[in-house]
Amino acid sequence: MKCLILIPARYRSSRYPGKPLVDVAGKTLLRRVWERCEPVLGADSVIVATDDDRIATHCEEQGMRWVMTSSSCLTGTDRLAEAAQELEADLYINVQGDEPLIRPEDIQAVIEAAKQYPGEILNATCEITHEADYFSKNVPKVVARPDGRLLYMSRSPIPGNKQREFTTSRKQVCIYAFPPEALAEFAAKGMKTPLEASEDIEILRFLEMGYEIRMIPVSGSSIAIDEPEDVARVIAALDQNGMR
């Protein structure tokens, strides 16, 4: 099975413009994500999908493969689908460009699960251990069946309880695995589905289109950079783990 890891990277982020090129302890955010992906499949199988010349130039300077996509892509997965038209593979692994602490072992776990469940859409998940993440609008929370298939994902605190307190929950980790056919159908929709648009969670488009999504448990090491203040959290984690 030929696998490719694609990293969607958009410069004009509404919450954090220029985020892929922000400095994180001496390296760009994008470079740090790439370095977490490279050990899994090798440098030639890790490709940045972007719509911005500044990011493309950075990739050239850093020796990272890249492909240019249009600026009209609705989501990172739409960008991935467009890139996939030029890059043939049996399985596309989407690693979000704002996850600089992603563990290579977690990416590998998703790939191994894809071999176990051929043709399925996969998304990583981990336990929420901090109450702040449970109530944060930036953290998509996951509710799944006992067999791991997704029931729903929301930026609201779910599953809830009568006391409206944090007890237990899981969150999305932005590692996805897509077979080519599902990816093409996702992009062919041409618009965000209602729940996807309301929650601003692109994986819900698959759910609304009738697809099953299997959630794969991984470690809780990831810290996404959604806003400028998240950079300090990531740098602290890098120092704590000797990863500078």
The two tokens of residue 228 are: 């400028």
| Distance of alpha carbon 64 from the chain centroid | 19
> Which of 57, 106, 60 is closest to 215 using CA atoms?
106
Which are the contacts of 154, defined by CB distance < 8 A and separation ≥ 6? 140, 141, 143, 199, 201
User: pTM here?
Assistant: 0.93
> Which amino acid is present at 120?
E
Residue 107, SS3 per DSSP: helix
Euclidean distance between CA atoms 194 and 171, whole angstroms: 21
The two tokens of residue 136 are: 């944060």
Residue range 203-239, pLDDT digits in tens: 999 999 999 999 999 987 778 888 888 999 999 988 8
The two tokens of residue 13 are: 């982020």
Residue range 84-116, pLDDT digits in tens: 999 999 999 999 988 899 999 999 999 999 999
Write down all domains in the chain, each with its CATH number in brackets.
3-238 (3.90.550.10)
